[in-house]
Amino acid sequence: MFIGEYRCKIDSKGRVVIPSKLRRDLFTQGVKNVFITRGLERCLFVFPENMWYAQTEKLKSLPFTKVDPRAFTRLFFSGAFQSKIDGQGRVALPQHLGSYAELNENIVIIGVGDRLEIWSEDNWNSYSKRAMESYGKIAETLLGG
């Protein structure tokens, strides 16, 4: 399970170092490659191999005859990129995904259970501020009580 919030930088070659805590969690699972794709709210989703294949199975079960599942799976898979974690713990971020997520030098990587998300620092700060304002209400809706 991936947790936490980490402030990082993208290097001049478009690579990001996965924070050591998250890297240990990945390596403990035997992960050497990750799949990166468009996330929601202008972030990137980063899935370890096993979670990518589990997500793929879920998406395969969606009815392709319906507009929303078809649009989502097209965008999700067409933007996907497989990246090897190099010896220094870096992954390459392709330009099309960096543009989608509005990434610049300063980014935030967050652990979200079964995946990581990569955000531009500005987008993360804005999103988390807005979400925090309704955190209690969201919890009440989702968890009851």
What is the pTM assigned to this prediction?
0.94
The CATH code of the domain that includes 39 is 3.40.1550.20
Task: Kindly tell me the burial class for residue 88, based on how many C-beta atoms sit within 10 Å of its own C-beta (0-12, 13-18, 19 or more).
Answer: exposed
pLDDT in tens, 82-101: 999 999 999 999 999 999 99
pLDDT in tens, 107-117: 999 999 999 99
Q: How many domains does the chain have?
A: 1
pLDDT in tens, 4-39: 999 999 999 999 999 999 998 888 888 889 999 999
Domain of 25, in residue numbers: 5-143
Give me the sheet containing 5-9, strands edge to edge: 5-9, 106-111, 116-120, 44-48, 33-38, 81-84
